[in-house]
Structure 1
Amino acid sequence: MNVGFIGTGSMGSLLIGAFIASGALEPSQIAASNRTFAKVECLAEQHPGLRAETNNADAAKGKDIVFLCIKPHEFRAVLDDIRGSLRPEQLVVSITSPVMLCQLEDWLPCKAAKVIPSITNHVGGGAALCMYGDRATAADRQRLEHLLRHISEPIRIDERYTRIVSDLSSCGPAFFAFFVQRFVDAAVEETGINRAEAIAIASAMILGTGKLLTEGGMTPEHIQARVAVPGGITARALELLELDCDGMFNRLIRTTHEKYREDVDKVQTSFYGEEVNGQ
């Protein structure tokens, strides 16, 4: 399998590194391009054999799978760059949530898919959320998910739920890392405990809690019930959290969805222009 990457920023370089570290791909199976060529050269130095391409068309030409790891506003220009080099049997995979599968299929002569990765894929954990265009076959799905399975748990989802599953899977690590940070900050401020020690303890707790929710078969409600003795310390703290967090996650989801809709509209305009009188 030969794979192309267009965009080697934070997530593009993470995926490349994870695929190589997991043994899913050899560096010689990967070609990559980036707006700033020095970033691709750096990756090629880290992974000898990886082909650093100076233009997007060469990164896409002849590849079985082409990952587009770029920002929404870059799509129109990148698709214009590569569509002349693509063939019907190739699969182009966008990791950018506001770009719709129907838009990719409108602009490209090949098959299209969308994958929402997570920073947790860096350590072979978490999910990779998979969506497919109408032209993608069962064989295409199997090939992509076989690749992703080396670094994640591939989960197929309906594209209409792109934003909320992205909140849970892709944004979630940042949200929960924020809570760990604030929990540790408070522990240090209130008690003087060593910060590094507090982070180590809290990190081990997060890892263990995740295993309870997956391997342990417990639900969030079950864990709370098992830890919180009625009238005890944890129960009193949970009452405080219930009050202070009331509606907070609803507001969080509304905020991410509002920004998502803005990005969707901008992508739509970049592809098809401004609507005039609803036309």
Structure 2
Amino acid sequence: MGDAAEGGSPDVLENKRSATRYQVLVEIAARQPAVSQGEIAETIGVTSQAVSDYVRDLVEAGYVEKGGRGRYEVTKEGVDWLISRTDDLETYLERVNSDVLGSVEVDAAIALDDVAEGREVGLVMRDGVLHANPAGGTATAVTVTSAEKGEAVGIADFEGVVDYDTGTVSVLPVPTVTDDDRPDPDVISAHVPDEGLVAVAGTEAYALVSRSGVDPDIRFGTAEGVAEAGMLGLDVLLVAVTDEIPRHTSKLRDSNVPHRVLDSDAF
């Protein structure tokens, strides 16, 4: 058994022979009982003679049972061996994804000025979008691409915390089309945030906002999208049909976004 769980490479990756042996057994399991050694050779990129040698080795190890006329079947011992090595590989890949790839994570920001690759920049949040400031800042990163002012630039090696406040979401309920209430469109303009977004969820909500003369910033106000806008520091007026509201408020609570449901008497 390999030591992938402890951080080492699994047995099947220790050398080319181990890796090829694993590949051959996988191909036999996928193609059994009628197995073409030539097809396996072409698939994994080795010679037919090499496949023949590996098959003979697997038969001797008790992992494969040989029948007549090119018929092979993987034994219970062979299946157990495959499972154990595959588990090792999965553990190893999980470590690569979390520890290795995660440590070199690359994000994107909008360049506030021209910036060259390899430059340390400050990070600031503006209008819910991360910006890279060549002049510096309390939170920093290093550019992994170059960019002109206004372009997206790749950044990595983050340090510090980007300083910004979470936004507030105000939820304005709109009755369904079967309800006798007919909201006054003027109520929309009375609650539009001075600096923020207007999102709508549901056809009745869209109709009300359209009649008010306000252009919604978010036409399809999903619970995830509205919550993310709030998390990124934007104030949002969410105009939503009543049956959409529980889904939105649940997501806002889960995301710790400050929110309030406006009194329906506002209509």
| TM-score, reference length from structure 2 | 0.26
Larger radius of gyration: 2
